[in-house]
Amino acid sequence: MILLLILIPFAAGLASLLIRQDLWRRRLLIAAALCHAGLVAACWIRTAQPLWSGWFQIDPTAQFFLTITDILFVAAAFYAAGYLKAEKYAMSKDFEEHQLFVNAPEAVFTACLLLFLSTMTMVITSQHFGMLWVAMEATTLVSAPLIYFHRHHRSLEAAWKYLLICSVGIAISLLGNFFLAISASGSGVGVVSLMRQDLIAHSSQLLDSWVKAAFIFFIVGYGTKMGLAPMHTWLPDAHSESPSLVSALLSGALLNCAFVGILRAFEVTSAAGLQEFARDLMILFGLVSIAFAALFIIGQADYKRMLAYSSVEHMGILALGIGLGGAAVFGSMFHAMNHSLTKAALFMVAGNILAAYKTKTANDVQGMFSAIPKSAVLWTMGILAITGFPPFGVFMSEFTILKAAIDSGRYYISAIFLLLLAVIFIGISAMAFKMAQGRPEKPLEVAPERALSVWPPALLLAGVLVLGLYVPSKLSDVMHTVAVFFGGGR
Amino acid sequence: MWTDIIMVLLTLTNMVALGTSRIRACIRIVAFQGVSLGLLPLLTHPFAPDLLIFAILNTLLKGVVFPVILVRTLRQLNVWKEEDPYVDYGLSLLAGPFVLALSWWISSRLPLPAAISSSMLIPVALFTLFVGFFLIVSRKKALFQVLGYLVLENGIYAFGVAVAFQQPLLIELGILLDVFVGVFVMGIAMFHISRQFDHIDTDRLSSLRS
């Protein structure tokens, strides 16, 4: 089963390089996404067998994050079908500098999307730290071409930064792997493999100082990829310059993968009796990320960059939740799901806005309600959701984390958290609602909104709304189980 | 004894990499580093067939494939020298010994559990790592940054060998494959950069701000 999960998108990716008709290639993309999602759904009914004596395994963590990834990927695949059709004409005008540019070949784009899914599945399911590293670096390499879909110099610059910064970051976490290995080999029990289960089983014999060093390297290395400040510098560029559906996947799925990497390291560090140390670091990086995001969201002119910084914020919230422990860990898991769905929907809507207005500057976008009414409704809903308005799921999860912080008596942290959330709320809403209201400055020639560019974000947002009102007991059970792994309680 | 010689070679190549402005020379140096490091596990570890396979693959990739890819990119770009890096070459060379001393100091303070075949392994691995970082941040040409990434990778690899830690062959091959694809993709990216911008100076890649 796990093998199929990895191989189906991989094979489909290779096949899409060979298919010549665009229509069939798009169908293949959707079919592969649906197959993958179907298999993951099957994991909810019966547990999958571990692969290769447990190297890959669908534990509750993997099951939870795979589900998020797949919901997003299916939505993105449908969106992509419409998007690629609209982007088909050979040359487009660069709306910022009015040069002509072409797009990357569609076959390569589709292939990279599918390989991206395959490598993300590997990251999430792998139980071996070495394998996790290999898969994580692979996600960087297959997603860099996705960012450079529009062949103009800004997207190239973004792709280069992404490639170099993330590769170096991930190289740092390879050192983390070695440190972990040293800590395991030092105590005289012989060589412990880097399997998660082995490390946890032998956790009492791990050498403290090396585990500490390893965790620092993991949080810096994988944190680069997750977009934790101050290692987030690649993120706003990559998210704003890539096609919107890629931004949706980067933000909603890829950042979560890096989060899984940190979580696995957190689990081992906690098992070795260093939970306090690890938690403090998570709180630190979490708050710094939220603060950085607040700083850059205020006065941001570009609405896609605003969404990107909001991702930095929410990654910070995830880290903070893990750091606070207790009920906040559950909140953090819940938040991961809410954020992914909301942010992916928002990026897709941002793509619709971009297609209609041909600008990324928020000030030049006005009167969405009259020009693109469906997207305008979705945009307003999405902004309300992401800034933590009830009754959306994001509100529930942020509230859970905040409540846990107050309950555990950490008033300073709660106050800072709340203040930063308020600042971000003001920053985002000041920009975003103005875009929806008013009248377009000049009459726009807008094509009618396609079903494929409206329905995927609409369904994602509907999901966030439902999660805010009612969490299925099976989902909440899984989230609780996962939370217990990472030091959570009820 | 042979390990020590390799370590001395590694230190010297790092110094050359710090001081050279010619990119082709630097590619050769990094390739030489790759080959000597590729042979290292054969000296430090007891012989095993999969170790041999890995060593051969590693040496081939770092000693032959990477230089070929990079020199080809170099020809396409027609950029042979970096005239003014952020940190001057003289200053870089001067920084070298300091960084080396720092690496020795750090490694003397690391509580290493396992017996290590050569006392020079850890400090030199750290030195290589730092030099890689230094090259990435102090040079403007994209090619130099890729070379810096490779030196960094070499340093991490040396560290892995030093702590006598054997990952399963599959993982080692996976890491190697990642680095290979990484260099390949970076090569393509540099080609596009030079076509779009007529240069590969990364300090002028600055249209994306805040």
CB A52 within 8 A of CB A111: no
pLDDT digits (tens, 9 = 90+) for A191-216: 667 888 888 888 888 888 889 989 99
Among residues A241, A319, A332, which one has the least CA distance to residue A287? A319
What is the rounded distance in angstroms from the CA atom of residue A25 to the CA atom of residue A29? 6
Q: Closest Cα of chain A to B93: distance in Å?
A: 23
Flag the least confident range among A237-246, A448-457, B113-122, B138-147. B113-122
3-state helix, strand, coil in chain B (%, to 5): 75, 0, 20
Question: If DSSP codes are grouped into helix, strand and coil, which group holds residue B111?
Answer: coil
Cis peptide before A390 (omega within 30 of 0): no
CB A264 within 8 A of CB A341: no
Flag the least confident range among A79-88, A167-176, A344-353. A79-88
Question: If DSSP codes are grouped into helix, strand and coil, which group holds residue A128?
Answer: strand
Residue at A490 is within a domain: no
Interchain CB distance below 8 Å, B114 and A186: yes
What's the domain range around A115?
2-485
What is the rounded distance in angstroms from the CA atom of residue A317 to the CA atom of residue B126? 34
Which run of H or of E encompasses A467? helix A451-469
Residue with more model confidence, B73 or A312: A312
Interchain CB distance below 8 Å, A182 and B114: yes
The residue assigned the tokens 């001067």 is: B94
Whether the pLDDT of residue A310 is over 90: the answer is yes
Cβ neighbours of A185 in B, within 8 Å: 113-114, 163-165
CB A460 within 8 A of CB A345: yes
Mutate to test the interface with B, among A53, A136, A160, A173 (most CBs of B within 10 A): A160
Query: How much is the pTM?
Result: 0.91
Mutate to test the interface with A, among B167, B173, B179 (most CBs of A within 10 A): B167
Residue with more model confidence, A22 or A12: A12
Among residues A464, A318, A470, which one has the least CA distance to residue A401? A318
Beta bridge partners of A56: A51, A126
pLDDT given at position A382: 94
Q: Quick one: pLDDT band at residue A120, thresholds 50, 70, 90?
A: very high
Minimal-distance CA residue of chain B relative to A209: B111
Residue at A229 is within a domain: yes
Residue A183 has which token pair? 């800590």
Q: What is the DSSP string of B142-206?
A: HHHHHHHHHHHHHHHHHHHHHTT----HHHHHHHHHHHHHHHHHHHHHHHHHHHHHSS-BGGG--
What is the rounded distance in angstroms from the CA atom of residue A227 to the CA atom of residue B116? 37
What is the rounded distance in angstroms from the CA atom of residue A92 to the CA atom of residue A100? 6
Beta bridge partners of A102: A91
Residue A343 has which token pair? 């942010």
What is the rounded distance in angstroms from the CA atom of residue B184 to the CA atom of residue B190? 10
Whether the pLDDT of residue A93 is over 70: the answer is no
Whether the pLDDT of residue A117 is over 90: the answer is yes
Mean pLDDT, chain A, whole residue set: 88
- Indicate the DSSP class of residue A324: H
**Phi, psi angle pair for A100, to nearest 5°:** -85, 145
B54 has a chain A CB within 8 A of its CB: no
Q: Closest Cα of chain A to B40: distance in Å?
A: 17
Minimal-distance CA residue of chain B relative to A184: B113
pLDDT > 90: percent of chain A:
54
Q: Quick one: pLDDT band at residue B157, thresholds 50, 70, 90?
A: confident
Cβ neighbours of A167 in B, within 8 Å: 149, 182
B156 has a chain A CB within 8 A of its CB: yes
Q: Quick one: pLDDT band at residue B165, thresholds 50, 70, 90?
A: low
Question: In this structure, how many other beta carbons lie within 10 angstroms of the beta carbon of residue B206?
Answer: 9
Summarize the confidence of residues A130-148 as an average pLDDT.
Answer: 91
Cβ neighbours of B182 in A, within 8 Å: 137, 140-141, 163, 167
Cβ neighbours of B159 in A, within 8 Å: 175, 178
Residue with more model confidence, A173 or A94: A173
Question: If DSSP codes are grouped into helix, strand and coil, which group holds residue B81?
Answer: strand
Interchain CB distance below 8 Å, A296 and B210: yes
Q: Quick one: pLDDT band at residue B79, thresholds 50, 70, 90?
A: confident
Residue A323 has which token pair? 């750091």
Q: Report ipTM for this prediction.
A: 0.88
Interchain CB distance below 8 Å, A144 and B145: no
Q: Closest Cα of chain A to B94: distance in Å?
A: 25
Interchain CB distance below 8 Å, B185 and A133: no
Nearest to A138 among B166, B178, B202 (CB): B178
pLDDT > 90: percent of chain B:
16
CA-to-CA separations, B64 to A364, B29, B30, B32, B74, in angstroms, rounded? 53, 12, 11, 10, 15
Whether the pLDDT of residue B54 is over 80: the answer is yes
Minimal-distance CA residue of chain A relative to B169: A130
Q: What is the dihedral of CA A121, A19, A154, A117, to 10 degrees?
A: -10
The residue assigned the tokens 């070949």 is: A105
> In B11-121, at which residue ranges do the beta strands (DSSP E only) sit?
none
Minimal-distance CA residue of chain B relative to A175: B156
CB A166 within 8 A of CB A139: no
Q: How many domains does chain A have?
A: 1
CB A156 within 8 A of CB B192: yes
Domain boundaries, chain B: 2-204
CB A121 within 8 A of CB A66: yes
Residue B135: is it exposed, middle or buried by C-beta count within 10 angstroms (0-12/13-18/19+)?
A: buried
B46 has a chain A CB within 8 A of its CB: no
Residue at A414 is within a domain: yes
Minimal-distance CA residue of chain B relative to A177: B160
Nearest to A168 among B152, B160, B197 (CB): B152
Cβ neighbours of A237 in B, within 8 Å: 208
pLDDT given at position B107: 83
pLDDT > 70: percent of chain B:
92
Whether the pLDDT of residue A326 is over 90: the answer is no
CB A349 within 8 A of CB A457: yes
Minimal-distance CA residue of chain B relative to A240: B208
pLDDT given at position B122: 84
Question: If DSSP codes are grouped into helix, strand and coil, which group holds residue A93?
Answer: strand
Summarize the confidence of residues A101-112 as an average pLDDT.
Answer: 83
Beta-carbon contacts of residue A26 (< 8 Å; ≥ 6 apart): A80, A81, A84, A85, A110
Among residues A259, A298, A266, A294, which one has the least CA distance to residue A180? A266
Mutate to test the interface with A, among B73, B208, B209, B210 (most CBs of A within 10 A): B208
At how many degrees (to 10) do helices A255-269 and A106-125 cross? 20
Residue at A77 is within a domain: yes
CA A72-A77-A81 angle, to 5 degrees, is: 150
Whether the pLDDT of residue B210 is over 60: the answer is no
What is the rounded distance in angstroms from the CA atom of residue B127 to the CA atom of residue B105? 11
Cβ neighbours of A240 in B, within 8 Å: 208
Question: If DSSP codes are grouped into helix, strand and coil, which group holds residue A373?
Answer: helix
What is the rounded distance in angstroms from the CA atom of residue A166 to the CA atom of residue B103? 25
Cβ neighbours of B168 in A, within 8 Å: 130, 193
Summarize the confidence of residues B37-47 as an average pLDDT.
Answer: 81
Q: Quick one: pLDDT band at residue B204, thresholds 50, 70, 90?
A: confident
Interchain CB distance below 8 Å, A164 and B149: yes
